[in-house]
Amino acid sequence: MDIKNKSLNRTTMIKYYERACQNFIDMSTKDPAAAIAKEHGLIGLTRILICMNKLGIQDANCHILALPDLTFTRSYNRWNSGFPYGCIISIESKETPFIPLDFKPNCCGVLFAKIPEINKDIHVIRNDFYAVMRSYNIFNESDFKRGNHFMGIYENENDHYVLLHGSLNFVKSQLYSNRNDQLMKQMGSMEILDIPFNYLAGDVARQYYQDYLNYQQMTIKYRELLVKGIFPNAEIMFNGTHEGFMDINTILLGGYASLNPFSCPIMLSPGSDLNIMHVTEPSIVANRVIYCAPHGGGYALNEVINAKKYEQTASDADFLLSFKNGMQMLSDEIQALPYHYRTNTADCWCHDYGKASIQKRLRPIMNIKI
């Protein structure tokens, strides 16, 4: 593998890359999108290991657990810093907290609730949503107009449910280093694999994590206020984060994690059933027992049978895709790759890896891009 870097010698780079390969726990679907994400994630993991060791952090180490929704992210800044999506990152150090800032935590997550029988049409529900948003000055009308954020209504026999997926812009303005001048002054930065690696360590990392916890609680609260504003009798069954932290040492990038068994919804494509999964078997990450699950389907590559990432760097690279009909596609833009949402991640986690069981499959009846 040709790993290029101007500031570190090749022997040092290979040493850290080999450790990254040993520390990458692959429980993905192993399809072409996951293959690209793994190659990319290994470079990101290498960069974390190099940074922690150059800082002299005692017992520094890091692992990535790739979940069945492992894929590329369409967040340009996050991807170009070496972070894939659909994984859990375990940061290990004896005393010094360490946070790689460019994974960009934003408290994104899902609220899932049981609601009374639907007696509103889709236009009324959308109008009610905006009316509730406008009643709280914390919201921005673009909060839920991002990527695959949505509100879905589902049914199972005689029961109805609502799912709200999203985050809030004011959280990003506080937790993203490129949007917060004070955070820019506090963070450290070093050139690794030819691009800056931004981080917090020690007391500033502890304070950042405490700030994150406050914003996470606010996000959870406001998702509930939105749903209960539309459906006052909603019975909240899950309100969890999949883009942030489980704890100061455990990063969530498209996955749920807990120290105990739990149940959660798994979002797939808009027209797919919503699977309610109960996680019963733990995963072992760096000698820690963690119960975890994918957050959704993740991006798959349309009609692609093989995919390769060239030039092993954290940022720019060529992607070579081979299609079923023999055609090849070469692109240097991850956002340009043809994608759809996977629909097999819940079954993969339950049946292939035996980590959970599916309790219910709910039929979608409305999907509102809000």
Can you name the residues that pair with 262 across neighbouring β-strands? Answer: 279
Is position 211 within any domain? yes
Q: What is the mean pLDDT of residues 16-45?
A: 96
DSSP for 2-35, please give it.
----SSS-HHHHHHHHHHHHHTEEE-S--SHHHH
Give residue 366's pLDDT.
94
Is position 163 within any domain? yes
In angstroms, the CA 88 to CA 197 distance is: 19
**Conformational region of residue 124, where left means phi above 0, alpha means psi within -120 to 50, and beta covers everything else:** alpha
In angstroms, the CA 262 to CA 242 distance is: 14
Give residue 3's pLDDT.
46
Q: State the residue range of the domain holding 305.
A: 10-368
- Cβ neighbours of residue 326 under 8 Å, at least 6 residues apart? none
Of the two residues 150 and 310, the one the predictor is more confident about is 150
pLDDT digits (tens, 9 = 90+) for 188-231: 999 998 889 999 999 999 999 999 999 999 999 999 999 999 99
Give residue 316's pLDDT.
64
Is position 360 within any domain? yes
Burial class for 1, CB neighbours closer than 10 Å (0-12, 13-18, 19+): exposed
Q: Which of 7-21, 77-91, 154-168, 350-364 has the lowest mean pLDDT?
A: 7-21
Average pLDDT taken over every residue of the chain:
92
Is position 313 within any domain? yes
Residue linked to tokens 């040993």: 22
Give residue 204's pLDDT.
97
Q: Is the pLDDT of residue 7 over 60?
A: no
In angstroms, the CA 246 to CA 250 distance is: 5
Give residue 122's pLDDT.
94
Handedness of CA 311, 316, 320, 321 (dihedral sign): positive
Is position 88 within any domain? yes
Rg (CA), the chain: 21
Q: Is the pLDDT of residue 137 over 90?
A: no
Give residue 146's pLDDT.
72
Number of domains within the chain: 1
Strand 24-26 and strand 61-71: the pairing is parallel
C-alpha dist (Å) from residue 105 to 93, 99, 100, 209, 277: 20, 10, 10, 10, 24
Q: Which tokens in the block code for residue 215?
A: 């914003």
Q: Which tokens in the block code for residue 348?
A: 């993969």
pLDDT band for position 12 (cuts 50, 70, 90): confident
Give residue 202's pLDDT.
97
Q: Is the pLDDT of residue 13 over 90?
A: no
Q: Is the pLDDT of residue 315 over 70?
A: no
Neighbours of 299 (CB within 10 A): 26
Helix H or strand E segment including 191: strand 188-192
In angstroms, the CA 76 to CA 195 distance is: 14
Separation of CA 283 from chain center: 18
> Which residue, 23, 24, 86, is CA-closest to 342?
86
Give residue 2's pLDDT.
43
pLDDT digits (tens, 9 = 90+) for 215-274: 999 999 999 999 999 999 999 999 999 999 999 999 999 999 999 999 999 999 888 999
Contact between residue 270 and residue 365 where contact means Cβ atoms under 8 Å apart: no
Q: Identify residue 15 by its one-letter amino acid code.
A: K
Q: Is the pLDDT of residue 144 over 90?
A: no
pLDDT digits (tens, 9 = 90+) for 118-135: 888 999 999 999 999 899
- Cβ neighbours of residue 49 under 8 Å, at least 6 residues apart? 16, 19, 20, 23, 60, 61, 62
Can you name the residues that pair with 201 across neighbouring β-strands? Answer: 98
pLDDT band for position 158 (cuts 50, 70, 90): confident
Is position 2 within any domain? no
pLDDT band for position 6 (cuts 50, 70, 90): very low
Is position 320 within any domain? yes
Is position 4 within any domain? no
Q: Is the pLDDT of residue 10 over 80?
A: no
